[in-house]
Each structure stands twice: as C-alpha cells, then as structure tokens.
Chain A
Amino acid sequence: MTRTVERGGTVRSLGQALSLFKMGAPMHPIFVHFTIALTASSLAFDALGFFLGVASLTATGGWTLVSAAVMTLMTISTGLTSSTRAPVEEGEARSFLRAHMALGLVFYGVLLAITLWRLSLWQQGLGVSWLYLAAMAVVSLVMTVQGYLGGELVYRYGVEVEQAHRELPEREANSTPPLLTSSSPGGTVTREKDERTA
C-alpha cells in the first residue's frame, strides 16, 4: 500500500489548521488506556481501602470501576471500528486479532458483572470483601492478557500504525533529501540513501 505523503510547509493560519483537522488517528488506543487505568485504579484503591480501612479510598474504587464500565463501551466500539480497517492477511497477526476481539467481549462481560456486584454492595452499605478483591484481581488478569494481545498487535505487527500515518516529506524516496548543516570538517552532511529508504 502506498502511503500518502505530507505536502510539507508550515501551518500559518487558523483556516489552514482547520482544513487539516480530520480525526485520522485511531481512537481505540486512546480509549483503551481509560479502561486499563480505571480498572487497575479500582483494584488498587479498593485494596488500599480494605487494608487501611479508609472509606474514601473504597468509594474511589467504586467510582473508578463504574467509570471503567462506561468507558469500556467506547473502547469496544472503537476497537470494532479499528478491526474493520485492518487489512491483515491470514497468519499470526490475524490470530492475535481474533483472540483480542473474542477476549474483549469476555472481559466486558466480567467487568459488567463485577460492576453490578459492586453496585449491590454499595446499595446495601457493605464494603468490599476478600472474595470481591479476588474476583477483581481475576478481572484485572483478564484485562492484562487482553492488553498484552492488543500491544502485540500494535508493536509487533503494526496494526493501525503501518499504512495509517503519512510519511514525512524527507522520507519520500524520489525527493531530494533536505541538507543538514553540520559543524564537522566535512561541511554539509546528507543522509545515506539506505537510511532514507529503510
């Protein structure tokens, strides 16, 4: 796939800036951090509240969990959108993608179940228990595996990274590379062609 190349040039006006606004960045990697941070925080706050006996920490754990359940809806919907845009051939990467998709909904199921449990505890005026913390640890474990699968998709296989972003002008193969001024005795230094095409 040929990547689009930026035309270059400095953005000098608001109109020019607005014309460049297109929300082209993938949304899923943004939302997924909310899910991870809120769920992990919930476990941490609940554990601290439980062991230190501080009610405000436990309350924070509850609110972060509810927020995680809400935000994860966005994470799932953007993830589905992302997977429809991933031209991944059959092979390892698609196996990772399939496992990631399947586990994503399983994770949401357990997250929703534990959120309902948490809300019922809150309604009855009860605090968290050992059993609840253990269940929350299992939910976090599922989330960790899910996060690992997603991380591999991006960092090993470049899903939504390769082909998704424009190349900078100096990386265009046929263009003259920009001259770099150097203080070295050799004067002007240009980049090697191999480096440009790598």
Chain B
Amino acid sequence: MTGIPFIGLYPFQWIALIAAALTLLLLADALAGHYRSGFAFRSQYAPFISGGVLIIAAGAAAIAPDTSWTTRALRVAGWLTVVTGVVGFGFHHYYGIAKKPGGYKWLLHYLMYGAPQLAPLALAAAGALALIAAQGLSGETSFAGMSLRVALLGFLSVALVGAILQAGILHYRGAFNNPAMYAPLVAPLLAVFGSAWIAFAPSRPAWHALAVLLWMTFLTGFVGLGMHLRGMGRQMGGLYVFLFNWLEGPPAFAPGLFAGFAAVGLVTVHLL
C-alpha cells in the first residue's frame, strides 16, 4: 500500500474512514431535512440506502484493505452514491426551485429557503472520495488520469468550494448575524486556493502553508458545530424542545463537513 501509515492505518484506509464519517454527517442532516418535508417522495429514502451501503463498504475496506471484495464493494458503493447524489441534485433543483411558485424568478429566495441545492452533491462527493480510496487501496497510482495525490487535492478544492457556497448562501439568509458566520469564508477559502496551487505548482513552502490552512479549516468545522448547536439553543425552548429545534434550527452537522474535507487534505499533505 502507498503512503506512510499513521497509528497502524495507511492513508487510503484513513480516506475510506473519512468518507464513511462524511456520509454519516450528511445522512444526519438529510434525515432532518427529509423528515421536515415529511418524506413526501419515496426517492427521499434513496440517500439513506446508498449512503448506508457506502458507510458499511468503507468501514469494511478500512478494516480489511487486502481483501479484494471489500475494495470492489467500496467501488460499487461509491458509484451508487455518486449517482444518488447527482439525481438528488436534480430533484432538489426541480422540486426546490423550478416547480416552486415563481420558479427561477425567485431564485435567490429558493436558494435560501428551498431544499439545499448543493447538499446532494456533497453526497456525490463522498462517493467520489470512496472511489479514490478504492483506487488507492487496490494499489493503483492514478485516478481519472491524475496521480492520486492530485486527484485528492482536486477533490478537496471542489468539495470545499461547494461547502463554502452552501454555507455562504445560508449564512447570508441568516444575515451574518454573528461574526463567526464569516469563518467558513476565510480559512476554507484560502485552503481551496492553496490546494489548487499545489496541484499545479507544488513547492515545500506551499505544502507547509496548506497544512496550516487545513488545520485551521479543521478547527473551523468544530467551531461551526459548536455555533450551530448554540444556534439551536437560541431557538424558542432551546434543546429542551429538541426535535422541533433540530428540524428548524441551523443544520446541526453541516459544519462537520469542513472538518472532514480538511481531514482529507491533511492525510494528503502528511501521509501521501
């Protein structure tokens, strides 16, 4: 296996575990969103099936990386999740914007108050990460014509851009009422530039700078988790009225994605 092991696990075992953790975070928020809308369509169960399969396959691949069926299962689960995410994006777009009264004329409104447009693509990103992990675990050195390191950096840039855009629009809806709401637009954005820079022009100082930015992004995720929990506590009744405020408050686990994506970058920087 390629890379430097860290406490007994090789880089792509870590990547598989991070893919599983990211999927778990996404499913928790998807559960809140889909439950809030009453699971009006059967297709709203789809992410839990594909995501559930991905979590199991990623866990199995991390535990038994040398077994060929686990890597194959991870690849299948990855593709399944990518397809689910892309189709989900279509659903969110159609039912969340196009079919709504006013449609595209009310685009900004529906971007803020409709189904989160980029959330299903985050699930697709978790699937893509699983595909890269499967490639690494099976001993391959490239993914879609790129080296695995460049593929992971590319993944990091794209995934962080998506997370920043989604956080940006929702924090705009919240009128940036707390200065901490600017946090996802600082370190993660710089990390995007850093990872894109390194993908094309790697140098030792740039790697160091990226490592610092990724640690800051990692901490930003935890700050966000705390602040979103605080946000739920600010709703009427706080966590004492847990179910209602979990559904109506800020997405509880979404900031964890920043920490998860940063963890992918840190594995790439330190172990690959």
Contacts and interface: CB of A to CB of B under 8 A. Distances in A.
Interface of A: 80, 83-88, 94, 97-99, 101-106, 108-110, 112-113, 119-120, 123
Interface SS, B side: helix
Contacts, number: 67
Contact of B229 (A86, A94, A105, A110): A105
A102 B238 contact: no
B222 A105 contact: yes
Contact of A88 (B225, B226, B238, B242): B238
B223 A106 contact: yes
Contacts of A94: 233, 238
B219 A97 contact: no
Interface of B: 6-7, 215, 218-219, 221-223, 225-227, 229-230, 233-234, 238-240, 242, 259, 270
B222 A98 contact: no
A123 B229 CA distance: 35
Given A98-B233, A98-B234, A86 B226 contact: no
A113 B240 contact: no
A120 B6 contact: yes
8 contacts: A80-B239, A84-B240, A84-B242, A87-B240, A98-B234, A109-B221, A109-B259, A123-B7
B230 A98 contact: yes
A80 B7 CA distance: 30
Contacts of B259: 109
Closest CB pairs A-B (n = 7): A109-B222, A105-B226, A102-B226, A102-B230, A98-B233, A83-B239, A105-B225
Given A109-B221, A113-B219, A104 B226 contact: yes
Contact of A101 (B6, B223, B226, B270): B226
A73 B223 CA distance: 16
Nearest to B271: A120
B23 to A, nearest CB: 19
Contacts of B229: 80, 101-102, 104-105
A171 B185 CA distance: 57
B227 A102 contact: yes
Nearest to B222: A109
Contacts of B215: 113
Contacts of A123: 6-7
Contacts of B239: 80, 83-84, 86, 101
A141 to B, nearest CB: 15
A149 B105 CA distance: 48
B222 A106 contact: yes
Contacts of A83: 233, 238-240
Contact of B233 (A101, A106, A109, A113): A101
A108 to B, nearest CB: 6
A108 B222 contact: yes
Q: Which of A94, A105, A113, A119 gathers most chain B CB within 10 Å?
A: A105
Nearest to B224: A105
Contacts of B218: 109, 113
